[in-house]
């Protein structure tokens, strides 16, 4: 029991003691219990654990939500040591001290007072919400599945290699196979790469401790994300989805080539070990690529997907920002005010990036107008056309002693999709000015996004387009899926609050997260693909981080304390799905990556929050809420034969074949190959004289695999007779 020396007045609860302030019967009962326990100035530990009671300045406070009216006077409550939040419409949070000499629960201007339900930190709730707990237990399945023998690759920043959540369930052996810190300069890079440092094995990982400080300083994002996907919990309730999977961690430089290297490194590690690979990407940028699945990064993802790699990506956190515009032109003009992120809020703040994409064969022109608070034009730039702006423009406008910098890069026909595009970046530090985007075209549809531009080029959050007087328009939150989540073969993940039962038996949670980005892609392709829990998810925190967080729970390991904390974002919902993909691949390792995505989507569940989702999917929910149990069941029931690998430098003949299958010329043909039948049965066959004997095989369709140049390559053939 914890006790404070407090002066207390016990309040008996009659029906009339609440005056005009209404409480539910359940809350009245709970209050009676709390105050009876509190009669001697102390509270029992069970009371403290059960109810929303906190201590501030050695006082007990009881937390409420209140519905207020015009008679509500916050100043009187502050004088009585009440703690108030900021009202949202007519709802406010109240923390009421249990030391008042008057009836503290009859508050003028408060119509309804509701005892605040205790909110659990929710990775433990997530397991149940997505039905992963049933998969772990093997209920109605041939066995429990935990992600064993599957690699989860995490491309991120802020990894704690020593954290016990990355050990096995006995806390004796690390499950991190290897880590590549691309920022590190002292040590050996991975084979085939000439930068960064690779750590392989427990001794090297523990000696390194964590990845190095980078543009995100000593972050914790990667640790939190990886623990959601596959942390053991290390004795805490916050166990991840695939808690026996193994890990590959890549702390990557912030450019597309570096992440592509990381994928290749992960693929090589996985194929060398004969494992399946799921790559989680809890990051994204709106000006990476084409935003329509045609970017180089998207094409690389497709290539790796064809090789069996499953990619999962957070859909983005701009669902509550009107950072998008869409205009169908007919010889007219669009104008909208560009909102700026606060310059004082980020030391790397530069300005705003307005990225615009048009339709093939339809050029458009953009520029900026600078106005004052009265909407009078002070100065404006010329229009810059996608047809004629062939070189990078870096220039400025001046208003008095102020300088507004801007630069432009444009294509009349982007080489990846032949669409006109323009990126207009603006820096304006004087908040008295309004920066107006102006755009014109003869015809065609143009889409625009307003994203914060940092000096380190990693800003990926939107800022609004807004109305600023006659002739201007505001933005919307549509078409907000970021790159590379908009890639065709990525599993793009939206976020919702996990649902769970309170101690009173009522269900809470389940709604879409306000921040979860909306689809579809601007070319009409439906995104996101699926939704998963991403609100207040509690997971591991790097013990090396210098980031701020609120500790929820701790564990001790090797004479060191390790923390857990809650974070929200599609960064958290993505690894939930990555972990489920690992469960699927443990259940059926012969599935193609395409089939894994199909299973995730086809087994999704719908409820009152999603509503009835059409067959094409929802721009908010994708195909619905991810269902690990149904997905694993479907995986077990699906027979799979991998498809042919594209772009092989070899082939087989004759095809169909009855006796000997020959290979076209390969410089160094391996001495064995793998043949897989339609039931997924694998056979290792010898290769002699550039051929393999398949006479003993039953008639049917087969896949033959060769391990060449560090990659598994496949061809299909048909056995006859």
Q: How confident is the model at residue 259 (pLDDT cuts 50, 70, 90)?
A: confident
Q: Is the pLDDT of residue 450 over 70?
A: yes
Could you tell me the strand order of the sheet in which 682-686 lies?
682-686, 672-676, 700-708, 711-719
pLDDT score at 5: 34
* Per-residue pLDDT at 101: 38
pLDDT of residue 12: 33
Q: Mean of the pLDDT values across residues 86-104? A: 60
| Chosen CATH of 324-466 out of 3.30.1070, 2.40.10, 2.60.120, 2.60.40 | 2.60.120
Give the pLDDT confidence of 2-59 residue by residue, as tens digits: 343 333 333 333 333 334 677 755 567 678 778 888 877 788 876 776 676 766 567 8
Among 208-212, 270-274, 490-494, 634-638, the minimum mean pLDDT is found in 634-638
Asked if residues 505 and 350 have their Cβ atoms less than 8 Å apart, the reply is: no
Locate 711 and state its tokens.
């990659």
Is 623 in contact with 519 (CB distance < 8 Å)? Answer: no
More confident residue, 678 or 251: 251
Residue 207: what pLDDT?
Answer: 96
Arithmetic mean of pLDDT, 163-179: 97
Percent with pLDDT over 70 in the chain: 87
pLDDT tens profile 537-575? 999 999 999 988 999 999 999 999 999 999 999 999 999
Query: Buried (b) or exposed (e) across 500-538, using 16+ Cβ within 10 A?
Result: beeeeeeebbbebbebbbbbbbbbeebbbbbbbbbbbbb
**615 confidence band (pLDDT: 50, 70, 90):** very high
d(CA 690, CA 688): 5
Per-residue model confidence (pLDDT) at position 7:
31
User: 251 vs 277, 398, 431, CA distance in Å?
Assistant: 17, 41, 37
pLDDT in tens, 575-605: 999 999 999 999 999 899 999 999 999 999 9
Instruction: Return d(Cα 425, Cα 406) in angstroms, integer.
Output: 5
Tokens 């799979």 — which residue? 640
C-alpha closest to that of 566 among 531, 546, 540, 533: 540
Q: What is the mean pLDDT of the chain?
A: 86
Q: So what's the pLDDT on residue 107?
A: 73
pLDDT at 470: 93
* Whether residue 640 has pLDDT greater than 80: no
Q: With bands split at pLDDT 50, 70 and 90, how would you rate the model's confidence at 122?
A: very low
Given this model, what pLDDT does residue 99 score?
A: 67
DSSP 38: G
Q: What is the pTM of this model?
A: 0.75
Domain 652-719: which topology?
Answer: Immunoglobulin-like (2.60.40)
CA neighbor of 198 nearest in space, from 210, 184, 209: 184
Q: How confident is the model at residue 631 (pLDDT cuts 50, 70, 90)?
A: very high
| Res 9: pLDDT | 32
In this predicted structure, the answer to whether residue 329 has a pLDDT above a threshold of 90 is yes
129 has pLDDT over 90:
no
Average pLDDT over residues 659-683: 83
Q: Could you count the other beta carbons within 10 Å of the beta carbon of residue 8?
A: 17
Residue 349 has pLDDT above 80, yes or no: yes
Alpha carbons 44 and 23: distance in angstroms, whole number: 24
Cis-peptide, bond into residue 654, ω within 30° of zero: yes
676: pLDDT strictly greater than 90: no
Domain ranges for the chain? 2-115, 124-317+488-636, 324-466, 652-719
Residue 346 has a pLDDT of 86
How far, in Å, are 229, 451, 572, 630 from residue 264 at the CA level? 21, 29, 24, 31
CATH for the stretch 124-317+488-636: 3.40.50.200
Instruction: Please name the helix (run of DSSP H) or strand (run of DSSP E) that holds residue 676, with its range, or none.
Output: strand 672-676
List Cα–Cα distances, 291 to 237, 344, 453, in angstroms.
Answer: 38, 30, 17
Write down the pLDDT at residue 427: 97
124-317+488-636 and 324-466 agree in CATH topology: no
Q: What are the tens digits of pLDDT across the range 285-325?
A: 777 678 999 887 888 888 889 889 999 999 999 999 999 99
- Do 185 and 262 contact (CB within 8 A), yes or no? no
- Check residue 10 and give its pLDDT: 30
Name the E strands within 502-591.
507-508, 530-533, 537-540, 551-557, 560-567
Using the predicted structure, report yes or no on whether residue 100 has a pLDDT greater than 60: no
Render pLDDT for 136-151 as a digit per residue (tens, 0 to 9).
Answer: 999 999 999 999 999 9
Q: Are 553 and 122 in contact (CB under 8 A)?
A: no
With contact defined as beta carbons under 8 Å apart, do 231 and 161 qualify?
no
Task: Please say whether the dihedral angle defined by the alpha carbons of residues 520, 255, 271 and 245, taken in this order, is positive or negative.
Answer: negative
**How many residues in total does the chain contain?**
721
> By mean pLDDT, which of 22-36, 107-121, 507-521, 619-633 is the weakest?
107-121
The rounded Cα 669 to chain-centroid distance in angstroms is: 42
pLDDT in tens, 176-212: 999 999 889 899 999 988 889 999 999 999 999 999 9
Q: What is the dihedral of CA 348, 352, 357, 362, to 10 degrees?
A: -140
pLDDT one-digit tens code per residue, 497-510: 998 766 666 677 89
Question: Which phi and psi (to 5°) does residue 281 adopt?
Answer: -130, 95
């Amino acid at each position: 029991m914890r006790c404070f020396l407090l002066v207390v007045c016990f309040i008996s609860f009659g029906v009339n003691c609440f005056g005009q302030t209404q409480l539910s019967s359940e809350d009245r009962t709970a209050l009676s219990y709390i105050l009876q326990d509190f009669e001697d100035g102390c509270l029992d530990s069970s009371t403290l654990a059960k109810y929303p009671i906190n201590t501030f300045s050695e006082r007990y406070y009881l937390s409420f939500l209140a519905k207020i009216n015009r008679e509500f006077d916050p100043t009187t409550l502050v004088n009585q040591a009440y703690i108030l939040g900021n009202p949202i419409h007519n709802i406010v949070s109240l923390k009421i001290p249990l030391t008042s000499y008057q009836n503290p629960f009859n508050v003028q201007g408060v119509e309804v007072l509701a005892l605040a339900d205790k909110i659990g930190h929710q990775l433990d709730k997530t397991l149940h919400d997505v039905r992963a707990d049933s998969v772990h237990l093997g209920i109605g399945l041939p066995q429990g599945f935990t992600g064993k023998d599957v690699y989860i690759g995490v491309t991120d920043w802020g990894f704690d290699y020593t954290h016990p959540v990355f050990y096995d369930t006995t806390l004796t052996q690390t499950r991190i196979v290897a880590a590549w810190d691309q920022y590190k300069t002292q040590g050996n890079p991975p084979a085939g790469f000439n930068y960064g440092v690779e750590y392989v094995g427990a001794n090297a990982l523990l000696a390194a401790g964590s990845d190095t400080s980078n543009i995100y300083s000593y972050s914790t994002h990667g640790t939190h994300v990886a623990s959601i996907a596959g942390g053991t919990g290390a004795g805490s309730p916050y166990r991840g989805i695939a808690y026996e999977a193994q890990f590959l961690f890549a702390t990557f430089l912030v450019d597309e080539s570096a992440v592509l290297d990381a994928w290749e490194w992960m693929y090589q590690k996985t194929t060398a070990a004969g494992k399946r690979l799921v790559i989680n990407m809890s990051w994204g940028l709106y000006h990476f690529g084409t935003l329509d699945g045609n970017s180089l990064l998207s094409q690389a993802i497709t290539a790796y997907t064809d090789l069996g790699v499953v990619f999962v990506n957070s859909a983005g956190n701009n669902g509550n920002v009107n950072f998008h515009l869409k205009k169908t032109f007919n010889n007219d003009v669009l104008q909208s005010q560009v909102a700026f992120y606060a310059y004082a809020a980020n030391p790397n703040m530069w300005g705003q990036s307005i990225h615009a994409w048009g339709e093939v064969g339809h050029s458009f022109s953009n520029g900026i107008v600078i106005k004052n608070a009265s909407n009078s034009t002070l100065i404006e730039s010329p229009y810059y056309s996608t047809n004629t702006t062939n070189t990078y423009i870096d220039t400025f406008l001046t208003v008095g002693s102020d300088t507004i910098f801007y630069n432009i890069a444009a294509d009349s026909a982007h080489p990846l999709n032949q669409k006109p595009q323009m990126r207009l970046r603006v820096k304006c530090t004087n908040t008295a000015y309004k920066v107006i985007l102006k755009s014109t075209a003869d015809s065609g549809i143009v889409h625009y996004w307003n994203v914060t531009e940092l000096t380190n080029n990693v800003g990926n959050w939107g800022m609004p387009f807004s109305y600023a007087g006659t002739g201007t328009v505001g933005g919307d939150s549509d078409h907000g899926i970021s790159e590379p989540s908009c890639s065709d073969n990525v599993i793009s993940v939206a976020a919702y609050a996990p649902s769970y039962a309170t101690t009173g038996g009522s269900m809470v949670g389940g709604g879409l997260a306000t921040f979860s980005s909306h689809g579809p892609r601007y070319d009409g392709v439906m995104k996101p693909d699926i939704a998963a829990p991403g609100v207040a998810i509690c997971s591991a925190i790097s013990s090396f981080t210098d980031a701020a967080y609120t500790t929820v729970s701790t564990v001790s390991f090797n004479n060191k304390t390790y923390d857990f904390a809650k974070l929200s974002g599609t960064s958290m919902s993505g690894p939930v799905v990555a972990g489920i993909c690992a469960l699927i691949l443990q259940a059926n390792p012969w599935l193609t990556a395409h089939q894994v995505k199909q299973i995730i989507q086809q087994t999704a569940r719908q409820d009152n929050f999603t509503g009835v989702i059409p067959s094409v999917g929802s721009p908010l929910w994708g195909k619905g809420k991810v269902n690990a149990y149904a997905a694993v069941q479907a995986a077990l029931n699906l027979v799979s034969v991998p498809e042919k690998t594209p772009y092989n430098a070899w082939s087989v003949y004759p095809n169909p074949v009855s006796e000997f299958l020959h290979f076209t010329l390969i410089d160094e043909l391996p001495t064995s190959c793998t043949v897989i039948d339609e039931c997924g049965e694998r056979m290792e066959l010898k290769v002699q004289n550039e051929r393999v004997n398949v006479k003993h095989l039953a008639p049917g369709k087969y896949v033959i695999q060769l391990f060449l140049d560090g990659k598994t390559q496949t061809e299909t053939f048909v056995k006859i007779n």
